[in-house]
């Protein structure tokens, strides 16, 4: 299987993860005019499975390094499989709760609270098992700057939108962020400490992400079905709507969204051995700022912004770049 050989490649993959995780929502935005998020989500979760399987059968099965995808899956223990599956379930619940929170409280409140909390707690959770691998002061200084950038991003959105904020939405954002901060650790725990010499019973990065994707898809039958039957806004959605109202184009957009997100997950997990899971997770969750770049420069969300907004955006991007740099050099 393909294995990341050096720290520089790992950092590059982590930056690509950030781009993927900050970009997949564009597909939902494209589909949202004629397709509800709950219907889009079925194709999205299917896209995650498709790419994880393709990577497992290709990059995860080529060469003599490590273990091939099928061989590794067949020798894994139930406990290890359960860890990766649980990671998928936790991510799925967190992701769907975040969508609900955005609907209730607005993106300016829900996204920074949820992802900001996930970034801080997630880095800390992934830092604890191997603190000696990092310069803790530099790492958490970088995380602090990224969080500051996320908060500034929220302030910029607030200048644009003056909606009434929902306390319920804020609470759900906090729950989503808490769950989001733990899912990555469960997947990391399911994998072998060494990707070249796979420990008996444990998973390779490719197998772990595939099992994770199964957890996402299966749990959607519970979590996403509840949202279809009890939508936060709009009419009740039935499964017949998925087959009657979905065009090939809409299904393809949803699958593409899942493929983009899963590409980020694969690159992040593949980088974990060389970069350390605290750094690979922390860089990936900088996706909030990538989403802001899409909003500013492509979707023109700040086109008619009030005076002072551009200054906030400038400080936000500078804070993000400095924080990103500190996270990168925190590896010892």
> Which tens digit of pLDDT belongs to each residue from 104-147?
766 666 777 787 788 889 999 999 998 999 999 999 999 999 88
Distance CA 294, CA 5 (A): 32
Is residue 184 within a helix (H) or strand (E), and if so which, with residue range? helix 167-189
Mean pLDDT of the chain: 90
Rounded to 10 deg, the angle between the 205-229 and 248-275 helix axes is 140
> Which tens digit of pLDDT belongs to each residue from 275-296?
999 999 999 988 877 877 887 7
> Which tens digit of pLDDT belongs to each residue from 310-322?
898 889 889 988 9
What's the number of CA atoms in the CB half-sphere (13 Å) around residue 247?
Answer: 6
Distance CA 183, CA 202 (A): 17
Strands, E assignment, the chain? none
Domain boundaries, the chain: 7-329
Query: With bands split at pLDDT 50, 70 and 90, how would you rate the model's confidence at 32?
Result: confident
Burial 87-98, CB ≥16 within 10 A → b, else e: bbbbbbbbbbbb
Distance CA 186, CA 211 (A): 12
Express as a percent the part of the chain with pLDDT over 90. 62
Q: In the predicted model, what is the mean pLDDT of residues 74-101?
A: 95
pLDDT of residue 112: 73
Is residue 43 within a helix (H) or strand (E), and if so which, with residue range? helix 37-57
pLDDT of residue 30: 87
Express as a percent the part of the chain with pLDDT over 70. 95
């Amino acid at each position: 299987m393909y294995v990341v050989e050096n720290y520089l490649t790992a950092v590059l993959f982590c930056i690509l993860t950030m781009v993927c995780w900050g970009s997949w929502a564009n597909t939902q935005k494209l589909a949202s005019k004629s397709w509800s998020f709950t219907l889009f989500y079925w194709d999205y979760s299917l896209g995650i499975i498709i790419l994880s399987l393709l990577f497992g059968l290709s990059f995860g099965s080529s060469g003599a390094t490590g273990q091939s995808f099928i061989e590794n899956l067949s020798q894994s223990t139930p406990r290890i499989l359960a860890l990766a599956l649980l990671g998928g379930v936790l991510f799925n619940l967190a992701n769907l709760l975040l969508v609900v929170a955005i609907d209730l409280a607005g993106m300016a409140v829900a996204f920074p609270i949820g992802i900001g909390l996930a970034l801080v707690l997630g880095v800390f959770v992934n830092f604890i098992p191997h603190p000696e691998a990092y310069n803790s002061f530099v790492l958490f200084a970088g995380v602090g700057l990224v969080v500051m950038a996320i908060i500034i991003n929220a302030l910029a959105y607030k200048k644009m939108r003056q909606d009434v904020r929902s306390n319920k939405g804020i609470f759900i954002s906090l729950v989503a962020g808490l769950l989001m901060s733990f899912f990555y650790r469960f997947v990391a725990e399911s994998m072998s400490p060494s990707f070249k010499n796979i420990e008996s019973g444990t998973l390779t990065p490719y197998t772990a992400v595939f099992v994770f994707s199964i957890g996402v898809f299966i749990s959607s039958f519970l979590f996403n079905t509840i949202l279809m039957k009890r939508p936060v806004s709009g009419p009740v959605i039935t499964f017949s709507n998925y087959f009657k109202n979905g065009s090939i184009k809409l299904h393809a957009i949803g699958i593409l969204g899942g493929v983009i997100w899963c590409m980020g997950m694969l690159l992040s997990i593949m980088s974990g051995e060389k970069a350390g899971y605290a750094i690979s997770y922390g860089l990936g969750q900088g996706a909030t700022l990538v989403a802001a770049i899409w909003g500013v420069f492509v979707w023109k969300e700040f086109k008619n912004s009030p005076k002072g907004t551009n200054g906030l955006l400038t400080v936000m991007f500078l804070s993000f770049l400095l924080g990103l740099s500190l996270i990168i050099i925190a590896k010892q």
